Amino acid sequence: MTPAPADTPATVDLLRMPTSGPGDLAPLEALRAFGHSPTDVLAVVGKTEGNGCVNDFSRTLATVRWEPVLPSDTITVFSGGTEGVLSPHVNLIVADPRPRPGHDRGLVAAAGRTRDLAPDEVGREPQLAAVRDVVTELTKRLGLAPEEVDMVLVKCPLLTSDRIAACRATGSEPVTDDTYESMARSRAAAALGVALALGECSEDQALAALADRDTTQVWSSRASASAGAELTDCHVLVLGTSRHASSPLRAVHGTMRDAIDLASLRTLFDRIAAEGGELVQVFAKAEADPYGLVRGQRHTMLTDSDLHSTRHARAAVGGLLSALAGTTALYVSGGAEHQGPPGGGSVTLVYRVPDA
């Protein structure tokens, strides 16, 4: 195992707090009550209540409100869409170097950003490479082996009509001129960047999958990417369980093989129970099965022109996960291209074990 760099372990706490609206900064006050300062916040990872699609201004509103009160290198990841029972909230990932001895491992995290991506780079190899590089660097900084990474959250750009026009004005053609489709393409490139950084596929495989738009063969079991119009670079959070850290917080990850994969989820929840742990948060990806079937039965998410499939998928998987977790303030994000098997998605559970 790579020896941990001098500045690790980057032990973190995870505070989950409800919000009364996308612009609600009340969690900042709560943060202080927990003994943390805004300057300790590595990342704000929130669910906001927009449609989670191209014109989701709830994400932008959250960004406009949070970014001025946070250090410049803190990243934000706002994922829109709290369909069904899901509840708007933020997760504050906070550096927490306070000694918590007696644990054989602990939750660590690091955050970073890629450079700004030009519109014609979105959904293409340059985005993939930029994400791969940041994930590689952050993983290294945490002293984690790739297999110790539990989750890589990426917030990545999309293409609006304006960005498409700007792209064409420079003589380039964007990867797609369908703005909703651009979200999928951006997530795909980001997820393949993660898969590559974590050694889950070869570069050839990643590039072929990107070129062929084939989301079914190659995936990362730990990538969670979501796209938005509120940024032009990619925000990246790497989260893992380090043997160099000692903290009651841990994570466990798995994949749902389809949107109703109760067995895989039970395995994860059982592992927490076996350690006497208490669930802190669930991070899951969800998508409509690309073949139009769930366990052989037809679904209608891909033929519903009133409601995009990502909204359907979040609602359904959110309903299941909330029932298992006993709470609805979960991070469920839609559109799982290369983020788990087709129709399924990556799942990471953060939990807390009793102090030694």
114 CB-near residues (< 8 Å, 6+ apart): 127, 130, 131, 133, 134, 233, 234, 236
Q: What is the C-alpha to C-alpha distance for residues 273 and 278, in angstroms, rounded to an integer?
A: 7
Q: What is the C-alpha to C-alpha distance for residues 312 and 259, in angstroms, rounded to an integer?
A: 11
Q: Residue 204's beta-bridge partner residues?
A: none
Catalytic residue among 224, 226, 309, 346: 226
Rank residues 64 and 211 by Cβ distance to a copy of itself and give the closer one. 64
Q: Is 246 in the site for a copy of itself (CB under 8 A)?
A: no
Part of the chain binding a copy of itself (CB under 8 A), chosen from 35-43, 133-141, 197-205, 311-319? 311-319
CA distances from 108 to 39, 229, 339, 354 (A): 17, 29, 21, 18
Nearest to 91 by CA among 149, 33, 23, 19: 19
Q: Is 287 annotated as a binding residue?
A: yes
Rank residues 240 and 335 by Cβ distance to a copy of itself and give the closer one. 335
Count of residues that interact with a copy of itself, criterion CB under 8 A: 76
Q: Is 314 annotated as a binding residue?
A: yes
Is residue 140 annotated as a catalytic residue, yes or no? no
Q: Which region holds residue 165: left if phi is over 0, alpha if psi is between -120 and 50, else beta?
A: alpha
Rank residues 198 and 330 by Cβ distance to a copy of itself and give the closer one. 330
Structure tokens that stand for 217 in this block: 């063969």
Q: Is 327 in the site for a copy of itself (CB under 8 A)?
A: yes
Q: Is 127 annotated as a binding residue?
A: no
Q: Is 46 in the site for a copy of itself (CB under 8 A)?
A: no
Least Å distance, CB 279 to a copy of itself, is: 14
Least Å distance, CB 298 to a copy of itself, is: 5
- Cβ neighbours of 137 (radius 10 Å): 15
Site string for a copy of itself, 149-178 (x = CB under 8 A): -----------xxx-xx-----------xx
Catalytic residue among 47, 140, 155, 285: 155
Q: What is the C-alpha to C-alpha distance for residues 157 and 309, in angstroms, rounded to an integer?
A: 19
Site string for a copy of itself, 47-86 (x = CB under 8 A): --xxx-xxxxxx-xx--xx----------------xxxxx
Report the binding-site residues: 59, 79-80, 187, 226-227, 287, 314, 333-334, 336, 339-341, 344
